[in-house]
Structure 1
Amino acid sequence: MTSTYTKSAIVEWVTILGESGVVVAGSENFGASTTGTSRAIPAVLRPENQEQVAAVLQVAQRWQVAVYPVSTGNNWGYGSANPVEDDCIILDLSRLDRISGFDPEMGVVTVEPGVTQGALRDFLDHQEGNYLVPVTGAGPTCSILGNALERGYGITPVTDHFAAVTKIEAILPDGTRYQTPLSELGAAEVDGLFKWGLGPYIDGLFSQGNFGVVVNMTIALAPVPETVTAFFFSTKDDAKLEALIPTVRAVLRSLGGSVVAINLLNSQRMLSMMTPFPEDKAVNGVLPAREVNSMANSHGVPAWSGVGAIYASKEVARAARRTLRRLLGPVTDRLIFINRRKVDTVQAVARLLPGRLATRVKGMADTLSGALEIMHGSPNDVALALAYWRSGNLPPPGQPKNPARDGCGLIWFAPLVPIRGDDVRRYINMIESVCPQYGVNPLITLTTVNDRCFDSTVPLLFDRSDADATAKANDCYRALVSAGQQEGFLPYRLNNDAMGILNTGDSAFSRLASQLKATVDPNFILAPGRYVPRIKRSEV
């Protein structure tokens, strides 16, 4: 039930934003989430500029009504547009979609929250900007700014997306504007070229935090290299994994700068991209090992597959291929190199093949083409099809995939794992032990975030229309966090139902973060509970 304070605030917000800028009827539809979360959402506010954002926050403070900012709301698998707590007003920033600055010589661009991966690609193409978009597998409709603030990552040369952020502008909870010292002192241009600025690094508070609404972000883009060559490798023998892991580390250390990230995928994760889920073969929602092996054999899927890309000049790329053959050859069964020309050839051949063979070859070529486009910094939704493997209805051709809208059940478990063979094996054993207990198939990807650490993304896929399956998937997440805490494998990023993990009581982190929050937001109106533990006023 909407409180009197909230109703009073809504009246003022309508004055600021107009009738079209305040959604009350049907606002709960905005909270559709792949995690199955359901929140009470009294209203959605849709400002069009930064001044309106400031005015919205001033009203929120006056009436002490909580607001929850989202960039585009497409935070698939982590809560989508849902707030952490009930009765928060959604602050939808998708109308703030301007690219306010671009320096083609220096390769920096300034974006607002509503600028998507697809929009930035279009902008760069029209500006003849010879740079790569920091893409993710989440698709073209997802926010550049939002992903960077969540410390997302990708496979293009600037792997760590928050590392590419050079400057932030934000509206603080009281409606005042935050800028970094260099900009305030008149050196805005050089401020956008140097991440650390001057004095304490306060920009970091806005990453995985709730200290302000970021309305502008300057990021450094990776230039388009002379060549982009994908490489794929595999091993049929799971027992070779312990030898493969340190080899991946050796590749990154030997070829740093030209090979920046490598993905490893287990057989089930590969099958999820190649074939529909065989419900009739599952036992309590889980594919038995014999069925996985049978499917893997029929589709030629090995125990472990790997993928990476070489970003380099032609001369360096040739040398990198030699190094990859030398390092990966002894621990893999296959190593191949693919570029756009080869994929175009395969697609052409597929058109000449008969029946089922043509369909299979074309499907493989289209998937490779989509992967190559991502490596080239062009977003697409090829990887997003994963969300539909267990539930959801694919949209008609030409319509963007939206897993939350389309009924998909997906929760990401994304822990950090050292790049060591024995640690990876312990981690895999943990996933394969816990997931089946909750009707979840253990789909595992290991992505290097540097030459020391993997981030492993495990999609907990389930039938969101089934309340029991939804509850089990959420229980599975909590069980994985608990097991990971014992084993040392904890997430780098949390979904909105898991923020309590950081509420560790008397820890130094909890105390400091909460004290800082109370200083800038004494009424706790901005995204309460998000990454920063809520504390009682008596503890401040």
Structure 2
Amino acid sequence: MNSTSTESAIAEWTVILGDSGVIAADAADFGASTTGTSRSIPAVLCPENQEQVAAILKVAQRWQVAVYPVSTGNNWGYGSANPVENDCVILDLSRLDRISDFDPELGVVTVGPGVTQGALREFLDRHEGNYLVPVTGAGPTCSILGNALERGYGITPITDHFAAVTKIEAILPDGTLYRTPLSELGGAEVDGLFKWGLGPYLDGLFSQGNFGVVVNMTIALAPAPDTVTAFFFSTKDDARLEALVPTVRAVLRTLGGSVVAINLLNSQRMLSMMTPFPEGKAIDGVLPAHEVESLANTHGVPAWSGVGAIYASKEVAGAARRTLRRLLGPVTDRLVFINRRKVAVARNISRVLPGRLAARVKGMADTLSGALEIMHGTPNDVALALAYWRSGDLPGAGQPKNPARDGCGLIWFAPLVPIRGQDVRRYIDMIERICPRYGVNPLITLTTVNDRCFDSTVPLLFDRRDADSTARANDCYRALLDAGQKEGFLPYRLNIDAMGILNTGGSAFSRLASQLKAAVDPNYILAPGRYVPRIKRSEVL
């Protein structure tokens, strides 16, 4: 790509989008990233419909200028809105925010890339849609479509967000519209009701790929159950982890219809939600073991905490509570059940308590309320406060949190771990061995993605204002990747600086992916380097 080609393409895009649809080079909002990564961004394009997207790609092909699509750009911890490679023009799809084809009887809805978790919740509330939004901890401003394409997950049914996708429409790199065979043959409605369609399943190419710009996605929504009851459990003894892990598996297999996911959190991860980071007690940015133990004792934090939810009728929920007591009782010290009514009672009690105790009870009630709302399919930014634990300035009351804009340092390491006690212990040892070497506190969450496998999210938190701290955090990520590859703990998604892990040279995956890419995008103008390795043409043929 050269500057003359880019300038010529921008001139044509300005005709298509108007002056307001083309944002100047290196726009600050788009270049900010919690990972500390910086990319050269010639311009940002803001189309309002899929016809403009198609026109943009045709211009990109003509001038061979690379474009990088983002849904809302809030891919915090993985690169935010930054492209994998330098000099890509950002294709900001946030204005494609239409919600359509909602079927309240069958529970399917079609969303554009700009539809956020919060927007879908508001839409369903307005249209009496008694369904759960597929929420994540990333907050109300994040894209439903973007998260599904990255194979994000949550703890509400349906936990696997790409599994909920039934139909995709995309603009291919040459500007043509891709639709599945059932839709092309006139069966658009049934196409949105059946994930696999007809013939080869090509929709999967658009998940963690760079084969087209997805402009519409139909998803199946989980119906809101009669009751949602959160359950919290804990063990003070770290040595019981090996017994707790298979019990979690047993819970999911026994109660799979009503308990869909469980989180396990270590003491440091819990402390990050309960107390400001004690900078004065840290050594090289890391809390020593005795300080962690002291803080845990002060705040009553156990070695391991767990959380899940029961989605069921009142009758089934009662039976599920009894089963949970039977299964979890022998391997935990505490098991409690919480619903909205109990949180309201705690808030009322806090009003009559003396000062400090009242604040503590109200804070606990507020945290529980935020967690419960997420379990009810209502997004909020309670979990997003984690990004601010080591750096960043919390926005004022009523302002949405935006870790990239607010200066937070965050890189997610998100490997898959078998639900076996010995494997989890081996994994925990790896994290606790490597993270402190790089000034990173080992905050660990293990979330079940099914009854066989955890995804573990480890936030590498650092001070983004400090170049050395930023470099060490990125070195920590690479060290975790290397160790995880040797130990068998590999991530389910990658940040923009880690895509090279897939460039395995002569592997069958690399060859096939590159052959498919070359067939639909021979000039590599769409999101170059994103998940599909860039291989020389001679190696593809």
Fold equivalence (TM over 0.5): yes
1:2 shift after superposition: 6.7
Q: How many angstroms apart in 2 are the aligned matches of 1:76 and 1:24?
A: 23
1:29 shift after superposition: 3.7
Q: How many angstroms apart in 1 are the aligned matches of 2:383 and 2:37?
A: 23
Tell me which residue corresponds to 1:306: 306
Q: How many angstroms apart in 1 are the aligned matches of 2:28 and 2:382?
A: 29
Tell me which residue corresponds to 2:482: 482
Tell me which residue corresponds to 1:375: 375
Q: How many angstroms apart in 2 are the aligned matches of 1:113 and 1:29?
A: 18
Tell me which residue corresponds to 2:292: 292
2:438 partner letter: Y
- The answer as to 2:149 corresponding to 1:149 is yes
Secondary structure, aligned partner of 1:272: helix
TM-score normalised by L of structure 1: 0.99
2:403 partner letter: P
Q: How many angstroms apart in 2 are the aligned matches of 1:535 and 1:349?
A: 64
- The answer as to 2:70 corresponding to 1:64 is no
Q: How many angstroms apart in 2 are the aligned matches of 1:13 and 1:270?
A: 48
1:71-130: per-residue Cα shift (whole Å, max 9, x none)?
A: 000001000000000000000000000002100000000000000000000000000000
Residue pair 2:26, 2:40 contacting (<8 A) in 1 also: no
Q: How many angstroms apart in 1 are the aligned matches of 2:277 and 2:388?
A: 10
Tell me which residue corresponds to 2:325: 325
1:301 partner letter: V
Within 5 Å, give how 1:182-197 maps onto structure 2.
Answer: 182-197=182-197
1:453 partner letter: C
Q: How many angstroms apart in 2 are the aligned matches of 1:37 and 1:257?
A: 42
Q: How many angstroms apart in 2 are the aligned matches of 1:414 and 1:23?
A: 33
Q: How many angstroms apart in 1 are the aligned matches of 2:343 and 2:177?
A: 49
Tell me which residue corresponds to 1:445: 445
1:306 shift after superposition: 0.1
Tell me which residue corresponds to 1:104: 104
1:359-379: per-residue Cα shift (whole Å, max 9, x none)?
A: 111111100000000000000
1:168 partner letter: I
Tell me which residue corresponds to 1:40: 40
1:359 partner letter: A
Tell me which residue corresponds to 2:219: 219
1:292-329: per-residue Cα shift (whole Å, max 9, x none)?
A: 00000000000000000000000100000000000000
Residue pair 1:228, 1:339 contacting (<8 A) in 2 also: yes
1:257 shift after superposition: 1.2
Secondary structure, aligned partner of 2:197: coil
Secondary structure, aligned partner of 2:309: strand
CA RMSD across the alignment = 0.8
Q: How many angstroms apart in 2 are the aligned matches of 1:505 and 1:532?
A: 12
Q: How many angstroms apart in 2 are the aligned matches of 1:351 and 1:516?
A: 63
Q: How many angstroms apart in 2 are the aligned matches of 1:289 and 1:101?
A: 54
Q: How many angstroms apart in 2 are the aligned matches of 1:79 and 1:351?
A: 43
Residue pair 1:140, 1:381 contacting (<8 A) in 2 also: yes
1:288 partner letter: P
Tell me which residue corresponds to 1:9: 9
Residue pair 2:84, 2:528 contacting (<8 A) in 1 also: yes
Residue pair 1:110, 1:218 contacting (<8 A) in 2 also: yes
**How many pairs were matched up?**
540
- The answer as to 2:176 corresponding to 1:176 is yes
Q: How many angstroms apart in 1 are the aligned matches of 2:497 and 2:370?
A: 32
1:429 partner letter: D
Residue pair 2:29, 2:405 contacting (<8 A) in 1 also: no
Q: How many angstroms apart in 2 are the aligned matches of 1:353 and 1:396?
A: 27
Q: How many angstroms apart in 2 are the aligned matches of 1:195 and 1:220?
A: 9
Residue pair 1:157, 1:257 contacting (<8 A) in 2 also: no
1:137 shift after superposition: 0.1
Tell me which residue corresponds to 1:49: 49
1:140-182: per-residue Cα shift (whole Å, max 9, x none)?
A: 0000000000000000010000000000000000000000000
Secondary structure, aligned partner of 1:157: coil
Secondary structure, aligned partner of 1:101: strand
Q: How many angstroms apart in 2 are the aligned matches of 1:331 and 1:29?
A: 48
Tell me which residue corresponds to 2:136: 136
1:537 shift after superposition: 1.9
Secondary structure, aligned partner of 1:442: coil
Report the more deviating stretch, 81-90 or 344-353. 344-353
Tell me which residue corresponds to 2:201: 201
Secondary structure, aligned partner of 2:277: coil
Secondary structure, aligned partner of 2:274: coil
Structure 1 segments, 4+ long, off by >4 Å, are none
1:352 shift after superposition: 1.5
TM-score normalised by L of structure 2: 0.99
Tell me which residue corresponds to 2:82: 82
Tell me which residue corresponds to 2:519: 519
Q: How many angstroms apart in 1 are the aligned matches of 2:504 and 2:26?
A: 36
Q: How many angstroms apart in 2 are the aligned matches of 1:349 and 1:381?
A: 25
Q: How many angstroms apart in 2 are the aligned matches of 1:460 and 1:442?
A: 8
Tell me which residue corresponds to 1:360: 360
Q: How many angstroms apart in 1 are the aligned matches of 2:2 and 2:306?
A: 51
1:45 shift after superposition: 0.1
1:25 shift after superposition: 4.7
Tell me which residue corresponds to 2:421: 421
Q: How many angstroms apart in 2 are the aligned matches of 1:532 and 1:447?
A: 27
The 1:253–1:225 alpha-carbon spacing in structure 2 relative to 1, beyond 3 Å, is same
Q: How many angstroms apart in 1 are the aligned matches of 2:197 and 2:29?
A: 41
1:4 partner letter: T
Tell me which residue corresponds to 2:394: 394
Residue pair 2:25, 2:44 contacting (<8 A) in 1 also: no
Tell me which residue corresponds to 1:528: 528
Q: Structure 1: which 5+ residue stretches go unaligned? A: none
Q: How many angstroms apart in 2 are the aligned matches of 1:394 and 1:354?
A: 28
Residue pair 1:28, 1:39 contacting (<8 A) in 2 also: no
1:175-207: per-residue Cα shift (whole Å, max 9, x none)?
A: 000000000000000000000000000000000
1:316-350: per-residue Cα shift (whole Å, max 9, x none)?
A: 00000000000000000000000000000101111
Tell me which residue corresponds to 1:127: 127
Residue pair 1:28, 1:42 contacting (<8 A) in 2 also: no
- The answer as to 2:167 corresponding to 1:167 is yes
Q: How many angstroms apart in 1 are the aligned matches of 2:539 and 2:416?
A: 32
Tell me which residue corresponds to 2:335: 335
Q: How many angstroms apart in 1 are the aligned matches of 2:434 and 2:347?
A: 40
Tell me which residue corresponds to 1:471: 471
1:26 shift after superposition: 4.8
1:31 shift after superposition: 1.4
Residue pair 1:28, 1:40 contacting (<8 A) in 2 also: no
Secondary structure, aligned partner of 1:273: helix
Q: How many angstroms apart in 2 are the aligned matches of 1:456 and 1:438?
A: 19
Identity %: 87
1:456-501: per-residue Cα shift (whole Å, max 9, x none)?
A: 0000000000000000000000000000011000000000010000
Residue pair 2:25, 2:41 contacting (<8 A) in 1 also: no
Q: How many angstroms apart in 2 are the aligned matches of 1:533 and 1:134?
A: 30
2:355 partner letter: G
Q: Structure 2: which 5+ residue stretches go unaligned? A: none
1:11-36: per-residue Cα shift (whole Å, max 9, x none)?
A: 00000000000001552541100000
Residue pair 1:272, 1:389 contacting (<8 A) in 2 also: yes
Q: How many angstroms apart in 1 are the aligned matches of 2:87 and 2:29?
A: 14
Q: How many angstroms apart in 1 are the aligned matches of 2:321 and 2:444?
A: 27
Secondary structure, aligned partner of 1:379: coil
Q: How many angstroms apart in 1 are the aligned matches of 2:71 and 2:350?
A: 40
1:146 partner letter: G
Secondary structure, aligned partner of 1:147: helix
